[in-house]
Amino acid sequence: MSATSAFSAQASTGQPQSQKVTRVLTGITTTGTPHLGNYVGAIKPAIEASLDPNVESFYFLADLHALIKCQDPKRVQESRLEIAATWLALGLDTDNATFYRQSDIPEIPELTWMLSCVCAKGLMNRAHAYKAAVAENEEADNQDPDKGVTMGLFGYPVLMAADILMFNANKVPVGRDQIQHIEMARDMAGRFNHLYKGSFFSLPEAVVDEKVQVLNGLDGRKMSKSYNNTIPLFVAEKKLLKLVRKIKTNSLEPGEPKDPDTCTLFQIYSAFASAEDTQAMREEYAAGIGWGDAKNRVFEYLNEHLREPRERYLALLEDPAHIEAVLQKGAEKARAQAAPLMDRLRTAAGLGRFI
């Protein structure tokens, strides 16, 4: 990894004077167990970006967001621990990056309220997640188009805007489905700045990295918890073998040449392997490697690469006190940024102290 990344370009408009480096921020909703697709698509690039000295990174567990779609406390609690342990096991340097839990920063829900009061309801009506819920109700001929829609779901983009604006993030690495939310955050930032006559907030930009791979899952569709086709990043060795064997292939026999470019197994392999090893595997496909052999090779490769971080991960899960301490320290660092800005915002809105 070079010392600069895609993120270290000139910061965007509205940058407060005191802030010299580009701020990169992203949140991970804590409802699932990290899988290979999360690793390749989000975790690995984020950890690498955090090594760039021209970048200040903020990564957080979006556990308030988790409550929107998951009301199983055990799952939320487990997922928070698993995700934190995963990022730490993979080498996130928490002296360098600010790593925290959203729910440890009371300024975030406070800012959410302030933004709610400048955010047009009509803007939220256009949010994808809400529109999808309404469309589903209409399709099912439900009397109430808002059936099952909570205020949490409806206002989801406001909470997300608060996450971003609270730390004056310039760049927000996200998947395509989240671009609209960043645009909404810009809209809210602009309105607030205009209404209260100040440059309180930078205008964030979404960063969608075209080079980052979207990994396919066991059934060949995009690897995703909602398709139930994932390979968890740190499953036990035996289970990993079992899952790799389940990856869908075709009925070509050993000896018949196979096409790597339409093959999920190859795609997963190449996301981890070096260019050289990927090329060698490509040649094996052309020479007609059998699916059983190919799967064993992919398993061996993944297992080799995941062994060490898996050991660290398991050790971390055994030591929640350590994880808690790391996150508390992260929250302190984050609040040192959030609290002074929140004071300015309160004063701007007429909620300042009397003396």
Report the interface residues with ligand TRP, using CB under 6 A: 25-27, 29, 62, 65, 160, 163-164, 172, 174, 178
Does residue 4 have a known ligand-binding role? no
29 neighbors 225 (Cβ within 8 angstroms): no
38 is in an annotated binding site: yes
* Residue with Cβ nearer ligand TRP (50 or 270): 50
Taking the least distance from each CB to ligand TRP, the nearer of 213 and 303 is: 213
177 is in an annotated binding site: yes
Contact between 270 and 281 (Cβ < 8 Å): yes
* Residue 142 labeled ligand binder: no
Closest contact distance (angstroms) between CB of 29 and ligand TRP is 4
Is 223 annotated in some ligand binding site? Answer: yes
Q: Is 226 annotated as a binding residue?
A: yes
CA distances to 87, 102, 287, 337, 354 from 172, in Å: 18, 16, 43, 18, 37
Place of tokens 């903020």: 58
Cβ of residue 157: shortest distance to ligand TRP, in angstroms? Answer: 9
Q: How far is the CB of 65 from ligand TRP (least distance, A)?
A: 5
In the bound complex, what is the minimum distance in angstroms from residue 26's beta carbon to ligand TRP? Answer: 4
Using the minimum distance from each CB to ligand TRP, give the nearer residue, 173 or 232.
173
Closest to 14 (Cα-Cα) out of 208, 269, 201, 287: 201
Q: Is residue 60 a contact partner of residue 101, using CB atoms and an 8 Å limit?
A: yes
Q: How far is the CB of 267 from ligand TRP (least distance, A)?
A: 22
Q: Interhelix angle for 291-317 vs 264-272, to 10°? A: 50
Q: Any known ligand binding at 72?
A: no
Measured distance CA(346)–CA(339) in Å, rounded: 10
Nearer to ligand TRP, 116 or 296 (CB): 116
Contacts of 126 by beta carbon, 8 Å cutoff, 6+ apart:
none
Cβ closest to ligand TRP, residue 32 vs residue 260: 32
Residue closer to ligand TRP by CB (options 43, 174) is 174
**Minimal distance in Å, beta carbon 110 to ligand TRP?**
16
- For residues 102 and 185, give the distance between their C-alpha atoms in angstroms, rounded to a whole number: 17
Nearest position to ligand TRP, beta carbon: 27
Minimum distance of ligand TRP from residue 184's CB (angstroms): 11
| 62 vs 263 by CB, closer to ligand TRP | 62
> Is 163 annotated among the ligand-binding residues?
yes
Distance CA 41, CA 272 (A): 12
Residue 131's CB: how many other CB atoms inside 10 A?
12
Burial of 148 per CB tally in 10 Å (0-12, 13-18, 19+): exposed
DSSP state, residue 10: P
> Which residue positions form the known binding site?
29-31, 37-38, 163, 175-177, 215, 222-226
> Which residue positions form the known binding site for L-tryptophan?
163
> Which residue positions form the known binding site for ATP?
29-31, 37-38, 175-177, 215, 222-226
